[in-house]
Each structure stands twice: as C-alpha cells, then as structure tokens.
Amino acid sequence: MQVYLDNAATTALDPEVITAMVEILEHNFGNPSSIHAHGRQVKTIIEKARKTVAGLLNAAPAEIFFTSGGTEADNMAIVRGIVDNGITRAITSPLEHHAVLHTLEELENNGTIELSLLNVDDQGHVDLHQLEQLLERGPRSFVSLMHANNEIGTLTDIEYVSALCKQYNAIFHSDTVQTMGHFVHDLNKLQIDFVTGAAHKFHGPKGVGFLYISRHTKIKPLIYGGAQERNMRGGTENVYGIVGLAKALEICYAHMDEHRHHIQGLKNYMIAQLREHVPDVRFNGDIDPENSLYTVVNASFPCTDIADMMLFNLDISGISASGGSACSSGSDIGSHVLRSIGADPKRPSVRFSFCKNNTKEEVDFVIRKLRQLCQEKA
C-alpha cells in the first residue's frame, strides 16, 4: 500500500484541473501580449481566470497578480511593500516560512529595516499583545504573519491582526499559502494589504501562484522586463498554470464544507489512534479544531534511537510524510519552527498532512506501521 500524507508540501492535480489545462495546451498557444487574434484570445482567458480568483476572494480583479508561486509573491509583497513605502521596522514571528523570514533577514542585514520577532508559546501562538505594544511604540511598521503554520498547523487570528494594523497604520502581509482553498478568505472584509497563494497547495499546478495587493496599497514591480500583469510583473504569463490555479480554487470553494468535514474527521481519527496505540506520543502545535489547520497533524514520537531514520523507515513502508527534529545534526539544521516552540530535540517529529483524497484505511495503515516502528526500536 502506498500512502501519501504530505499534502502540505504539494497536492495531486485535480482531474478537472488537468482537463482545463489540457484544453488550453491544445488549442490556445498565442502570446497574450500580442495584439492579433491569437494573442487577444489568450489574454481573455487570463483575465477570465483573474476574475474567477477575485470573485472567490471578494476582491477586485485589478487586485490579483499572478506569479510563479508563493515564494515570489511573498518576496514581492515584502521587498516592495517595505522599500516603496519607506518602512524602517518590520515585525514577524520566528515560525514563518523561509520565503518570509529569509527575505526580511536580508532587508535587515542590508540596513533597510530593523526586524522584531514576536514571542511564541509552546503551541506556536504568536504574542499579539506584544505586537500591539510594538505597533503602538512606532515607527510605522510592516507586519508579516502567516495564517496557518505550514509545519505545525497553528492558526493566527489574521482578522484581529488586520484590525490592529489598521489602527496603527501598519502594512499587513499574510502568507496564506497553507489556508488558501481550505478556508474562506473575504479580502474586502479583511482589509489586508497583501495575501499570497500557491496553486499546488490546493490541487492546482506547480509553478504558479498569486499576490493580492489591496487597491489602497501602492508598490512597484519586483520583476522588470515587460508590461505583463498591468506593468507589475514582467515575463510571459504561465497561461496554462493560471487557468489551472483558477479552476482548482473554484473547485475548492464549491466543495469546501464537504472536504473540510472529511479531512477534519481524518485528523481527529489519527490523533485518537496515535494516543491509543503509541505510548508517550506528543503533538506539536495547537490541535484544537478552532485553532489549527485541519489538514495538518505534527506528532512527536518517543523512539529516540531512530530519530534520524523515522522518515526513511516510513518511506520504505510506503508512507510519504515530512518532518524532522528541533536539533542540528550534521548538515541538517533541524526545524526552526520546532526549535522556536521548544520541542524536545531528541524526539523525531513527523508532519502528516491530509487532503480530500485520503481515507480512514490509509490512516489505519500508517498507525500499524508506526506501532511496529516504535515497538521495534523502543
């Protein structure tokens, strides 16, 4: 049996997405920047996709910009949002994805900003009281906080953060890569400056994403070289990817309640089974359904003598997952997220992440293999 539980890393293409992309691949090859009929036809296809995405997110089409993925979108929001608005202080958490952390650290290293890292508790909750204190103290800040952590699944109340940022005239960017397509995002209500998404996290193709830029926020391009994306992102558009992204997001919104119920059920079942069959199992991050991403379970196991081999043993058993430890080992620097929440560096941790295609039978198979591994190596 082969079980794929690494959907937080990437998801399988939805069959309807493949069909939509193949249609474009076969029949619409024109360059959307060309003024002739072939080009105009493809340009229309892109704008239709943009309108679809904007409609689902309650945004204006002019606020959606297609990119090569979440990393580019994060970089564009952070670099241009800070530089073009004369920001000298940025606030984030030590749990952010490296697309955010490394970009902010580079801006700090070159003297553009002073970077403040918020405190986090042992479940990965950000200290929002500290955030308000920093915002109140000034100067005008750039705040970047992800909606859900990609490793441990803990949610941040971005509606509350958005209100704080508005109160103190701060610019707010949220990496919503893990929650896009899994939660409803009403961007008009949220009043946020930047939001990022990546199609391959919600059963769309790799190599395409988008950046939402509020109409009230003005920045320059990150990539120059052409007038594409209304002069905001040079380079010939990934037409097939854009179509796939829009179709995938459309499917997610159409079936969100159904898929959420199914996936949350699998997560709850796996947590219960782990507690029953694996002595001293611990969970990294908040596992309360109200405070956590329903697609992710991060478990820490007691069999410390096989810490470095846990994922390998799962892999040879036919189980695809991801994870690691909080410690440094050789060239492996470990997980910055697990270190930041104080996870035991000697215990192997595994992130199991689910999607609509997973089943209870697959969870049972994984539990059996984990029991064998922990019993054999205890």
Model confidence at 326: pLDDT above 70: no
Give the pLDDT confidence of 157-216 residue by residue, as tens digits.
Answer: 999 999 999 999 999 999 999 999 999 999 999 989 999 999 999 999 999 999 999 999
**271: Cβ–Cβ under 8 A, 6 or more apart, which residues?**
283, 287, 297
Name the nearest CA neighbour of 228 among 238, 216, 213.
238
pTM, 2 dp: 0.95
Q: Taking residues 76-82, report their average pLDDT.
A: 98
Model confidence at 332: pLDDT above 80: no
Q: What is the pLDDT of residue 328?
A: 42
**Cis-peptide, bond into residue 139, ω within 30° of zero:** yes
Strand positions, DSSP E, the chain: 3-4, 64-67, 89-92, 114-117, 141-144, 171-175, 194-198, 209-213, 282-283, 296-300, 319-320, 322-324, 349-353
Q: Taking residues 326-332, report their average pLDDT.
A: 46
Model confidence at 250: pLDDT above 80: yes
**In this structure, what are the phi and psi dihedrals at residue 120, rounded to the nearest 5 degrees?**
-130, 150
Copy the structure tokens of residue 323. Answer: 């994870």
Whether 168 contacts 135, CB under 8 Å: yes
Whether 243 contacts 43, CB under 8 Å: no
Q: What is the pLDDT of residue 302?
A: 83
- Catalytic position from the list 165, 327, 355, 374: 327
Tell me the pLDDT of the chain averaged across its residues.
Answer: 94
pLDDT band with cut points at 50, 70 and 90 for residue 331: very low
d(CA 177, CA 128): 21
d(CA 316, CA 17): 31
**In this structure, what are the phi and psi dihedrals at residue 2, rounded to the nearest 5 degrees?**
-110, 125
User: Counting Cβ atoms within 10 Å, is residue 231 exposed (0-12), middle (13-18) or buried (19+)?
Assistant: exposed
Q: Taking residues 299-325, report their average pLDDT.
A: 82
Copy the structure tokens of residue 104. Answer: 């902010």
Q: What is the pLDDT of residue 329?
A: 43
d(CA 205, CA 11): 9
Q: How does strand 319-320 pair with strand 3-4? A: parallel
Whether 367 contacts 273, CB under 8 Å: yes
Give the pLDDT confidence of 87-138 residue by residue, as tens digits.
Answer: 999 999 999 999 999 999 999 999 999 999 999 999 999 999 999 999 999 8
Q: What is the pLDDT of residue 336?
A: 93
Domains and CATH numbers, the chain: 3-11+255-377 (3.90.1150.10), 15-254 (3.40.640.10)
Q: What is the pLDDT of residue 244?
A: 98
374 as an active site residue: the answer is no
Q: Which of 163-167, 258-262, 276-280 has the lowest mean pLDDT?
A: 276-280
The torsion defined by the Cα of 87, 92, 97 and 102, in degrees rounded to 10, comes to 50
